[in-house]
Amino acid sequence: MNILNIILISIFLALIIYIILSKYLSESILENVSNIYYMNKKELEEYLINDEDNYYKDFSDKDFKARHVNNLDEYYNNIRKACIDISDDNKNILNKCINKANYKLNKYQCIGFDGSKCSNLEWKIGLVRDKWYEEGYPHTRNNLIIIPISLLNNKNQLISTLIHEKIHVYQKTYPEDIEQYLKENGFTKYKLRKDYNNTRSNPDMDEWIYKNNKDEIMMAEYFDNPTSIMDVKTIPINSSKYEHPFEYMAYDITNHI
Ligand SMILES: [Zn+2]
């Protein structure tokens, strides 16, 4: 046997070992993450259209206009186009990023937020495509986290988004903790959002408009003829972080960890 044959056989054997090992490792990662639930297309469609958290119930005319639909039936059709199944490859990407998000969350604590309690909550994930539903922006519905499939191409951005959205799930799960956070950071209830019909609906917030610790109102108001859910001006600072204390908290903690 000449030296070239030995090298070729060695490369071939190394390749086989690599393939077997990488398959074993990816399977063991799938097994390692226990508190994740991935919704399939059918479940996700039903969940979103069911509207258990009454998100669409309070849509204003401008909410519909910004979404280019006239009524809920038209919106349900868009939701059906948006929902997709999650492939095993995409579950693997999400599992790895959820592990990293859990690791970061676990280390963080402040008044009104316990990162380890947050990471221990179930990760319930649904995947959407394109801009059919909520223009493809990540958000939560109850404890379900909606992620656009395009985000899976950017792991760092995906980890930050998973952390941000998991904080919204925490806010919905532990209202007593959030009361503490709001008090500690000087946020106070101002008016119910339903009494103020120009604000953008957002499923990550509660039903209140708040004031910050400088007594400034926080909200995102639609422009006159919105053609996008981003056609808003946010006060007191024109950035999504200042739309509501829940957004402030999610952005602020994500930046710190
Ligand atoms: Zn948010």
Whole-number Å distance, alpha carbon 164 to ligand 1 midpoint, is: 6
Helix, strand, coil content of the chain in percent (nearest 5): 55, 15, 30
- In whole angstroms, how far apart are CA 224 and each of 3, 66, 143, 240, 243? 77, 10, 32, 19, 18
Whole-number Å distance, alpha carbon 92 to ligand 1 midpoint, is: 24
Cα separation, 45 vs 38, whole angstroms: 13
Q: Where are the domains of the chain?
A: 33-256
pLDDT (0 to 100) of residue 6: 73
Whole-number Å distance, alpha carbon 245 to ligand 1 midpoint, is: 10
pLDDT (0 to 100) of residue 13: 73
Q: What is the CA radius of gyration of the chain?
A: 22
Whole-number Å distance, alpha carbon 160 to ligand 1 midpoint, is: 11
Whole-number Å distance, alpha carbon 140 to ligand 1 midpoint, is: 8
Whole-number Å distance, alpha carbon 46 to ligand 1 midpoint, is: 23
**Cβ-based neighbours of 77, under 8 Å, separated by 6 or more:** none
pLDDT (0 to 100) of residue 33: 64
Q: Tokens 């056989």, residue?
A: 9
Whole-number Å distance, alpha carbon 47 to ligand 1 midpoint, is: 20
Whole-number Å distance, alpha carbon 142 to ligand 1 midpoint, is: 13
Cα separation, 157 vs 126, whole angstroms: 17
Whole-number Å distance, alpha carbon 107 to ligand 1 midpoint, is: 21
pLDDT (0 to 100) of residue 41: 98
Cα separation, 161 vs 254, whole angstroms: 8
pLDDT mean by block of 10 residues, the chain; 257 residues: 72 67 51 81 97 92 95 96 97 96 96 97 97 96 98 97 98 98 98 90 96 97 95 96 98 96
pLDDT (0 to 100) of residue 207: 94
Whole-number Å distance, alpha carbon 139 to ligand 1 midpoint, is: 6
The single-letter DSSP state of residue 200 is: P
Cα separation, 222 vs 200, whole angstroms: 6
**Cβ-based neighbours of 215, under 8 Å, separated by 6 or more:** none
- In this structure, are residues 177 and 240 in contact, taking their beta carbons and an 8 Å threshold? no
Residue 251's nearest CA partner among 170, 179, 160 is 160
| 3-state DSSP assignment of residue 147 | strand
